[in-house]
Amino acid sequence: MKQSVFATILVVGSLAISIGIFLYILGSPDNFLDGENREKPTNLMGTVYTGGPIVPVLITLSIMVITYVIERMLSLKKAQGRGSLASFLKNLQGSLSTGDIES
């Protein structure tokens, strides 16, 4: 998958998930003394909800960081290769000395 497509899907998906978390989990009437008014929080989730519109943005960024870390770990694990580093470097040096930079 192209990197730009991955990034676009990640931003849109993370934003949708974070808005859902903000509205339906953090904004649940159970987290507030006054229920639907949502002005007097009873627990930490209600307090986070009172942070306002910056909260979904911060949740989006957190989801994106976690996703990129996992994606990079998988990519680096896949890129390790199966051969030895010494033989790879010897082949690379031989190709460079013959002027074969395309291989």
Pseudo-torsion of CA 6, 9, 15, 18, nearest 10°?
A: -80
Measured distance CA(98)–CA(83) in Å, rounded: 22
Distance of CA 60 to the CA centre of its chain: 8
Q: What is the mean pLDDT of residues 70-86?
A: 84
pLDDT attached to residue 79: 79
pLDDT attached to residue 80: 80
pLDDT category at 103 given cuts 50, 70, 90 is low
What is the C-alpha R_g of the chain? 24
Report the predicted TM-score, pTM, of the whole model to 2 decimal places. Answer: 0.74
36 DSSP assignment = G
